[in-house]
Amino acid sequence: MSVDPRAPALFDLTGKVAIVTGGNGGIGLGMAKGLADAGAAVIIAARDAAKGEAAVRELSVSGAKSAFVAVDVTGAFLRAQAAYSVLCEAGGGKIVNIGSMMSVFGAAFAVPYAASKGGLLQLTKALATAWAKHNIQVNAVLPGWIDTDLTRKTRREIEGFHERIESRTPARRWGAPRDLAGIAVFLSAPASDFITGAAIPVDGGYAAQG
């Protein structure tokens, strides 16, 4: 079988700049690593300076260009507004929002969180339709149960929670931050230029079971 010589370019982010809000740990850092490996210069934007600088050092080990900017992120809507004029001037670009399985599932134990993530999914679709004419693609990633500091706290507090999630997930494991690297690259690269307004689960098959 012949290999399309254009294939590597579809996922090449050389010369691009990626701003990863919350990229100083967990899912955000996993995505930042993927973007850096694909050739992007990565800006880590977050509140915790110590964690941010540590993330930059971690990215720099592999030779990636990276820097930390201390910000208190004012949310996906304001972040998108801030990026809009820059992306238009550049002739287009990508926005990748981080939703959750709770963007589409009911969650009796986390009502405000689920409501906010549902709203983020609708924001993604609305911006995708509004900004497509400017060659700006807006998509969302819906992570499943990922092994992070936050979920480790939940597992410590709720007996049997780890086992319940593992048995409910077809992949029979929790996700790792590195599992988000590939989708971050795909949705930021030319490979996804005709994809906008999508919400893509990265959950080991959790959502496929309904």
Of the residues 78, 113, 126, 172, only one is catalytic, namely: 113
Whether 95 and 83 have beta carbons less than 8 Å apart is answered as: yes
Q: Summarize the confidence of residues 71-90 as an average pLDDT.
A: 93
84 is catalytic: no
Whether 95 and 138 have beta carbons less than 8 Å apart is answered as: yes
4: confidence class by pLDDT, cuts 50, 70, 90: low
Could you tell me which CATH number the domain at 76-210 has? 3.40.50.720
pLDDT computed for residue 181 by the predictor: 97
pLDDT tens for each residue of 43-75: 999 999 999 999 999 999 888 999 999 998 888
- State the span(s) of the chain assigned CATH 3.40.50.720: 1-73, 76-210
To the question of domain 1-73 being in CATH 3.40.50.720, the answer is yes
